[in-house]
Structure 1
Amino acid sequence: MTTLPAAPAVPRAPEQTGRFWADLRRHGHHPAVVTDAADGGTLSYADLADRVDALADRLGPTRRLVLLAGGNDLDTLVGYVAALAGGHPVLLLPGDNAGHVDAVVAAYDPDVVLDGDGLHERRPGTRHDLHPDLALLLSTSGSTGSPKLVRLSHTNLASNAGAIASYLGIRRTDVAATTLPLHYCYGLSVVNSHLAAGATLFLTDLSVVDACFWEAVRAHRVSSFAGVPYTFDLLDRVGFAGMDLPSLRYVTQAGGRLAPERVRAYAEAGQERGWDLFVMYGQTEATARMAYLPPDLAVASAGAIGVPVPGGSFRLEPVPERPLSARDGDLTVGELVYRGDNVMLGYATGPGDLARGREVHELRTGDVARRRPDGMLEVVGRRSRFAKVFGVRVDLDEVERLYGDRGHVVHVADLGDRLLLGVDASARPADPEELRAVAKEAVGLPRTAVDVLALPEVPRLPSGKTDYRTLVALAGSGARAATTADPAAPGGGRDDRSAALRAALAEVLGRDVTDADTFVGLGGDSLSYVEASIRVEAALGTLPAGWHTTPVGELAGRPATPARRGRTLETNVLLRALAIVMIVGTHANLFVAVGGAHVLLAVAGFNFGRFHLTDAPRRERVRHVLGSVARIAVPAAVWLAGVALLTGDIGWRNVLLLNGVLGPTSWTEPAWWYWFVEVLVWTLVALAGCLAVPWFDGVERRWSFWLPFGLALAGLLTRYDVVELSAGDEIHRGTVVFWLFALGWATVKATRLRHRLLVSAVAVASVPGFFEDGPREAVVVAGVLLLVWLSSVRVPDVVARAAAVLASASLYIYLAHWQVYPHLEDDAPLLATLLSLLAGIVFWKVASRAGNLLGTHAGPRPKPRARASQV
């Protein structure tokens, strides 16, 4: 392990230290912000402080989670600083992606939303447990497609702003143009460092290719701007190196590796024109910057990331899986590990994580670096950017450099069993055979191990970095150029995704679908969700959070991302599939694994809370619940009527799903076989009646977790016989087992850690002793805990599809298996199990098809297909 010394301390002026958001007025009437006249003209620091104070007052004294969705404009800047000044953790998002904003709102449930339409207070006070150090939440690496966020503290922001202002030597007279989005950590660091130094921001969303941008640069005497590698591609197009910009002092570059020859060229151009080039290195997880290359070394040490920022340090940790290459020679190589006050608190994947404090003390960057003979650090790849193809271990970043040495602009991705070469056709036409020949010569891969994709435009993240996920998705969408070099190959655009999504939902739900529709709004429920989620993931490459309540048009507007190996399988779906197999296999004497039906009750409660308790009006909620009741009760009644007519084993009480109320009090076969369906139907009917009462509906909206949790506690009164509502068989009666349904409902509303702990505690405490059967009780407890703590798993595609079919058909399997397995359980239990499952799947397919045919003749907006909604 090699430890690299920290850079020498750089003296900081007093105005470059401290928390800038609380220090605005000290800069008095010096210009803080310059904008277009229509957006406010010039604001002094005093003016900015007035606006910040006014908004901070509106946000109130109670710390709340503020979601800020905006752009490079004054309102966004004021909202950001006001949240910090008021002590409110702020979740910063781009304002031009409504679908993503809605998904994050659904995932994190902010107390306040600030966007282009103003301040939207979703509730007084807060429902979150917010750690005192938490200040800012940002998407990782400039990505806007994931609910995973970086948690940053006030110390992180202040220390990194001060360090950047110090090594850049930012002056009060400097004016920085906002050439990068404010929601991107690099763009935000420009704001933070200049406000910390008392300098001026030129707020703009103009591109560097716009002529009016350069007019504004001259008019406002802009002294600096920031760029990612793609920005420098655009600068090349407009002839930036030859521009006369007398006010320009320096240009900064980060957000990805700029080729050494380009670093030299820009550094030399700057020397001729009187400005400096600062090459910088950072990650969102380090607030922004971790290293910089001093301008006087940019020519001699092009390719290096330089030295740590003031207050930071690096060490290199060995990477066993990466052997030294010829480029490395005998230099020290390892993973770059950074330590400093700007290292994040940790990650967040849901609102419960917002209560966490510091969990990270040093940042494992994932970058593989080497220490050069001149003492500078140079990043040579990513630990995650390795692939194994045909038994050959391949460094994807090294392959990109090899092609770059031969004059090709190639972006390399891993397709599992082969490499994908995404070729920038605007730089040089893609010749698949030539590119494959290079792979064989330089990497040792056979031609069949290389796919070539001609790109009329390289997909990029908001940070400007190559979007490898979308690259892989484009390859899978039919845009692959394995035998041709057509630069106009299709790219799976928004219209294609919209058509695919509408077709998928129409097929699953049996309804006409428009871009304005949502899955839930179309009558989608828990079983149709399973099949629909598989198809949505196939169309988009991933399964966005909250997709089931997001309009189709907004989903289609998101950039496609590549499907990773396997599929995302939600835990409730997996539990449904496992539970129905357990039920059938146990009844058929294949094995003994009891408890599946009671796990399904908790899953049913989970899905009730998820699909029926949306923000829809009360009457629509009631209609949705009753629709699900019909989609369970109708096929069940039809099947049971047929059984009654053909066998005479059951009577009208079973057909009407009233055996639990009017039938024998103790377990009697076959009368009690269908207890689960009865419990589910009448539980939903009762809850529909409750939701029809305005008071109950209002309580649910205000106390979305505490209502079902309270009902679960109330349900324990019958579970422990404090209140006796029935006699005889208790473990199969709805009035007794309701507490399990309510626990599942509370689980989906458990947005905080303490909520999850409470649900877990009740499950662990209340299930033992109920069945007087240890293994069964362990199964039920495990099922509830999995619902609470594990939202999804990644499984092979074949497992996901099998689970999806079993979960979707679970109601029909439950109904049908009673007529199949008894004939085979003694002699062929495996065959009895398989045929029972198959019979239920066939029943499901026939019922679905019948429902679809009936729906398509009902008018322009047919009814949903007949489907079970909860089992």
Structure 2
Amino acid sequence: MTVLPDQLPGITSVPFALGLAAHGERTAVITADGPVSYAELAVRVDKAARRLGGERRLVLLVGSNTVDALVVHLAALAAGHPVLLVPGDHPEAVQSLIDAYDPDIVARPEGGEMLLDERREVSAHELHPDLALLLSTSGSTGSPKLVRLSHENLQTNAESIAQYLDIRDTDRAATTLPLHYCYGLSVVHSHLLRGAGLILTDLSVADTCFWKLFEAGRGTALAGVPYTFDLLDRVGFAAMELPHLRYVTQAGGRLAPDRVRRYAALGRAAGWKLFVMYGQTEATARMAYLPPHLAETHPEAAGIAIPGGSFRLEPLPDSPDENTGELVYSGPNVMLGYARTPDDLALGRTVHELHTGDIARGTPDGLYEIVGRRTRFAKILGLRIDPGQVETTLARHGVTALCTGDDETLGVVAVGGHDSDARRIAGLVAHDCGLPARAVRVRILADLPRLPTGKPDYRAVRELTRRAPDTATGPAATPDGAPESLRMLYARLLDRSDVTDDSSFVSLGGDSLSYVEMSIQLEERLGHLPPGWHTTPIRDLTEPERPDASRRRTLETSVALRALAIFCIVGSHIQVFGIKGGAHILLAVAGYNFARFHLTPVERRVRVRRGWTSIARVALPSMAWIGLILLLGDDYTFANLFLLDSVIGPDDLKTGMHFWFIEALVYILIAAVGLLGLPAVDRWERRFPYALPLTLAGLGLLTRYELVGLPHREHIPDAITVFWLFALGWAAAKAATVRQRLLVTAAALATVPGFFPGDPGREAIIVAGFALLVWVPRLPSRERLNHLAGLLATSSLYIYLTHWQIFPLIDGFSRHLAFLASLLFGIAYAAGAARLMKALSARRKARGVLTGRGCGRGPAGG
């Protein structure tokens, strides 16, 4: 079977996309969910092509490393529809390009599926017959300047790459780079051309699960930009056993010669080859490669032209060296030209050879070496400076840096351990370039700013160094709130090593347990807490203020309620006072935070994984503490240890109910995560984020009012009778309008009264706490009060766990002292547990990267 050869008569398509079925039952794609054969892939591509229709239209595809995105991409190429491939992790860029090019069809992932938004049946644009693909050269910025690529460009470049890499149908390449990036896309095209397999994943090479998948899929090929090799060094790649690995490719920027030499030697010893490559989006992907046998002896070279291509050097003005000039490339993979408006989609070829903008030198061995960038030269105070050469010079001094320049200053962003490194680096640059120190501005970061592809983000470098202090007149101190400071804060509090400017609290897996400390420390850094900060990228949280220590602050209501609730729970149990209802407020807050931190736009599997992690963070410390107490006394049973007291009793042990709240919370979370693990429920939640929890709350009222024939609530687990409070908290978080907030508040006002007969004060406290949660996002506070509330809220689980054992030791002497001791012990236990979990996590990561453990079932190979 082939894909619709007669669907669009007279329309050109890409041969390798049209002929997938010729590879039969060979494995085409391997994912964590299992393999997909070429025959299966061809059927899915055929179905998608028919869905795209018989009228040629512009398809904007939101790229992702998924089978669904790959199918739509191949279907469009096979059926002749031009594809505008855009980054899936930058909604702003997607919308910008939709606005600029008005595509006829928008294909984007939603609810775990690829949805096709067919905006019109007939294209609004005049589309040139040769036009196959549109790619951006500016990463994730959403710039309307696009590269126009033809069907011939895609086919011939895939053929050239497959030829010099000697790709075989037994090869399996991992998608270590995004689909929307020309390098990542070339890996896909060249391997599908030869009937080879793709290990399709969006996992980083720093992730243990990537290596589990790579090993199970018998991976033979890895592709990386220079930053990828930084990550490989961090995870101990040199010590890994990868018996099927045949070749590693590198492009997307210059890899330092010493690292080329080292990786080439590593490959020679381990039995795989290193291909250093050179390319640009304007050449579809690749223009040159360095034969592997030359990598150790000529590590500085870009190599030779790919099969079918050729280079020439165009002399530079006033340059006496005839072996040096701008590198100009010719070949069938050279783009048709650029597009800046929809009208340009009608253009044919406007470019016949590619002026790369790179300055190169020809060597006696027939190789080409890139020595500079023509368009990156800056004339600073009358001196012509090549920022790329400055980067190379700093590298020789052991400094990893990115540089940009304008008419007055040279900006340097460098990796360093301390801000005092800035003055030393500025001195090196000023001396080597002949610039005064005042013309060099240096920023020290924990890591260099990079685009999602891993390539340097020079726009960020310009912005960062523009705000840097004058290194000549003072230390390059990083103001609180600067991007690198926030990245370090996020990395420390969330125990993550992959924090970038595009990361947010939620995208990094933050949850309600880490939210409190992060929100309080962030407000200290910024002087305020921006609305929606938990889903805001770090780069957008970089407008710091230096508030006076006495300045009034605010405290998020959810944090305040957690702190007040645990305060009241413990005080009531010790009978210091009698303010009850705190535990039920905490259930509503738990539902509220569940919706905020787990019901994000990430795919279903990520939601479920993070949900189980949160359950473990509640259940495991609880079981550890109960197990310890079980060894020391007879107040509890094994039912308590396994959080089953409310299910199996015994009913006559009053102390067994001490942990009813933890059991209820764990059961409810298990039910919620289990429900959302169902594809249909996951889709419903994304489509009806407010209606679903309100419906669940309605179902919960059936048990709250004992309407379904269950035993009396004293004889069934509390989770069943209090679930409606959790669901209402969930609905409160998703209430986006005044009407929705009024409805959820009315539901609480109508259903809480009567839950505690004879105790209207308790019910009033629960309703008041719920109303605050819905209507008052922040409360006025002070810095010291924020710290106190943060300690209590962060430690609330541990205080609840331990106070049952602490206060009986002291309350005979003083109830108030027992109260204080219970709070302090719980806070100390929380701090110790956090340190222990962080240490265990670090050890697990260190071992897991090398062993590939902890990622579940691996895929089968075909």
> How does the TM-score come out when normalised to structure 2?
0.54
Q: Distance in 2 between matches of 1:346 and 1:254?
A: 22
Q: Are the counterparts in 2 of residues 34 and 201 from structure 1 also a CA contact under 8 Å? A: yes
Q: Distance in 1 between matches of 2:307 and 2:534?
A: 43
The residue identity in structure 1 corresponding to 2:248 is: V
Corresponding residue number in structure 1 for 2:24: 28
Partner secondary structure for residue 302 of structure 1: coil
Match of 1:170 among 157, 167, 171: 167
Corresponding residue number in structure 1 for 2:836: none
Q: Are the counterparts in 2 of residues 230 and 465 from structure 1 also a CA contact under 8 Å? A: yes
Corresponding residue number in structure 1 for 2:58: 65
The residue identity in structure 2 corresponding to 1:216 is: L
* 1:425 shift after superposition: 1.6
Corresponding residue number in structure 2 for 1:51: 44
Corresponding residue number in structure 1 for 2:74: 81
Corresponding residue number in structure 2 for 1:406: 397
With 478-487 and 64-73 compared, the bigger mean Cα shift is at: 478-487
Listed as ranges, the matches of 1:648-687 within 5 Å are none
Listed as ranges, the matches of 1:678-697 within 5 Å are none
The answer on 1:229 being equivalent to 2:226 is yes
Partner secondary structure for residue 349 of structure 2: coil
Q: Distance in 1 between matches of 2:62 and 2:537?
A: 17
Distance 1:98 1:436, change over 3 A: closer
Distance 1:90 1:116, change over 3 A: same
Match of 2:313 among 312, 316, 320: 316
Corresponding residue number in structure 2 for 1:121: 118
* 1:242 shift after superposition: 2.0
Distance 1:19 1:304, change over 3 A: same
The answer on 1:475 being equivalent to 2:471 is no
Q: Distance in 2 between matches of 1:230 and 1:392?
A: 31
Corresponding residue number in structure 1 for 2:810: none
Listed as ranges, the matches of 1:187-266 within 5 Å are 187-266=184-263
Listed as ranges, the matches of 1:715-730 within 5 Å are none
What are the ranges of 5 or more consecutive residues in structure 2 without an aligned counterpart?
1-12, 488-530, 543-775, 777-862
Match of 1:369 among 337, 343, 360: 360
Q: Distance in 2 between matches of 1:552 and 1:340?
A: 50
Q: Distance in 1 between matches of 2:316 and 2:171?
A: 42
Q: Are the counterparts in 1 of residues 411 and 466 from structure 2 also a CA contact under 8 Å? A: no
Match of 2:432 among 432, 442, 448: 442
The percent of aligned pairs where both chains have the same amino acid is 56
Corresponding residue number in structure 1 for 2:15: 19
The residue identity in structure 1 corresponding to 2:387 is: L
Q: Are the counterparts in 2 of residues 312 and 339 from structure 1 also a CA contact under 8 Å? A: yes
Q: Are the counterparts in 2 of residues 141 and 284 from structure 1 also a CA contact under 8 Å? A: no
Distance 1:412 1:489, change over 3 A: farther
Partner secondary structure for residue 287 of structure 2: strand
Q: Are the counterparts in 2 of residues 415 and 472 from structure 1 also a CA contact under 8 Å? A: no
Q: Distance in 2 between matches of 1:81 and 1:94?
A: 17
Match of 2:413 among 393, 409, 422: 422
The residue identity in structure 2 corresponding to 1:43 is: V
Q: Are the counterparts in 2 of residues 470 and 560 from structure 1 also a CA contact under 8 Å? A: no
Corresponding residue number in structure 2 for 1:455: 445
Q: Distance in 2 between matches of 1:282 and 1:552?
A: 40
Q: Are the counterparts in 2 of residues 495 and 556 from structure 1 also a CA contact under 8 Å? A: no
Q: Distance in 1 between matches of 2:537 and 2:479?
A: 21
Q: Distance in 2 between matches of 1:490 and 1:135?
A: 44
What are the ranges of 5 or more consecutive residues in structure 1 without an aligned counterpart?
1-16, 325-329, 497-550, 563-859, 861-871
Q: Distance in 1 between matches of 2:140 and 2:373?
A: 17
Partner secondary structure for residue 429 of structure 2: helix
Q: Are the counterparts in 2 of residues 422 and 471 from structure 1 also a CA contact under 8 Å? A: yes
Q: Are the counterparts in 2 of residues 229 and 255 from structure 1 also a CA contact under 8 Å? A: yes
The residue identity in structure 2 corresponding to 1:352 is: D
Q: Are the counterparts in 2 of residues 32 and 198 from structure 1 also a CA contact under 8 Å? A: yes
Match of 1:281 among 271, 278, 281: 278
The answer on 1:382 being equivalent to 2:378 is no
* 1:552 shift after superposition: 11
Alignment: residue pair count:
483
Query: Deviation string for 1:461-500 (max 9, x for gaps)?
Result: 233221111111123345776633557864359999xxxx
Q: Are the counterparts in 1 of residues 438 and 471 from structure 2 also a CA contact under 8 Å? A: no
Listed as ranges, the matches of 1:331-730 within 5 Å are 332-425=323-416, 431-477=421-467, 483-486=474-477, 490-492=481-483
Q: Are the counterparts in 1 of residues 32 and 213 from structure 2 also a CA contact under 8 Å? A: no
Q: Are the counterparts in 2 of residues 333 and 370 from structure 1 also a CA contact under 8 Å? A: yes
Q: Distance in 2 between matches of 1:209 and 1:357?
A: 43
Partner secondary structure for residue 285 of structure 1: helix
Corresponding residue number in structure 1 for 2:133: 136
Corresponding residue number in structure 2 for 1:792: none
The answer on 1:185 being equivalent to 2:182 is yes
With 151-160 and 404-413 compared, the bigger mean Cα shift is at: 404-413
Q: Are the counterparts in 1 of residues 96 and 143 from structure 2 also a CA contact under 8 Å? A: no
Corresponding residue number in structure 2 for 1:579: none
Q: Are the counterparts in 1 of residues 335 and 351 from structure 2 also a CA contact under 8 Å? A: yes
Partner secondary structure for residue 83 of structure 1: helix
Q: Distance in 2 between matches of 1:487 and 1:236?
A: 28
Q: Are the counterparts in 2 of residues 423 and 430 from structure 1 also a CA contact under 8 Å? A: no
Q: Are the counterparts in 1 of residues 288 and 306 from structure 2 also a CA contact under 8 Å? A: yes
The residue identity in structure 1 corresponding to 2:36 is: L
Corresponding residue number in structure 1 for 2:268: 271
The residue identity in structure 1 corresponding to 2:361 is: R
Q: Distance in 1 between matches of 2:166 and 2:230?
A: 27
Q: Distance in 2 between matches of 1:74 and 1:311?
A: 31
* 1:458 shift after superposition: 1.1
Partner secondary structure for residue 42 of structure 1: strand
Q: Are the counterparts in 2 of residues 134 and 152 from structure 1 also a CA contact under 8 Å? A: yes
Q: Are the counterparts in 2 of residues 170 and 199 from structure 1 also a CA contact under 8 Å? A: yes
Q: Distance in 2 between matches of 1:429 and 1:240?
A: 30
Q: Are the counterparts in 2 of residues 387 and 416 from structure 1 also a CA contact under 8 Å? A: yes
The residue identity in structure 1 corresponding to 2:337 is: G
Q: Are the counterparts in 1 of residues 449 and 460 from structure 2 also a CA contact under 8 Å? A: yes
The residue identity in structure 2 corresponding to 1:36 is: A
Partner secondary structure for residue 132 of structure 1: coil
Q: Distance in 2 between matches of 1:285 and 1:112?
A: 25
Q: Are the counterparts in 2 of residues 141 and 463 from structure 1 also a CA contact under 8 Å? A: no
Query: Deviation string for 1:330-358 (max 9, x for gaps)?
Result: 67110000000000000011111100000
* 1:407 shift after superposition: 1.4
Partner secondary structure for residue 124 of structure 1: coil
Corresponding residue number in structure 2 for 1:97: 90
Q: Are the counterparts in 2 of residues 261 and 302 from structure 1 also a CA contact under 8 Å? A: yes
* 1:106 shift after superposition: 0.8
Distance 1:236 1:451, change over 3 A: same
Partner secondary structure for residue 116 of structure 1: strand
* 1:281 shift after superposition: 0.4
* 1:433 shift after superposition: 3.0
Q: Are the counterparts in 2 of residues 477 and 492 from structure 1 also a CA contact under 8 Å? A: no
Q: Distance in 1 between matches of 2:184 and 2:470?
A: 34
Distance 1:456 1:481, change over 3 A: farther
Corresponding residue number in structure 1 for 2:142: 145
Q: Are the counterparts in 1 of residues 15 and 78 from structure 2 also a CA contact under 8 Å? A: no
The residue identity in structure 1 corresponding to 2:378 is: A
Query: Deviation string for 1:122-173 (max 9, x for gaps)?
Result: 1111111000000000001545431111000000000000000011000000
The residue identity in structure 1 corresponding to 2:25 is: H
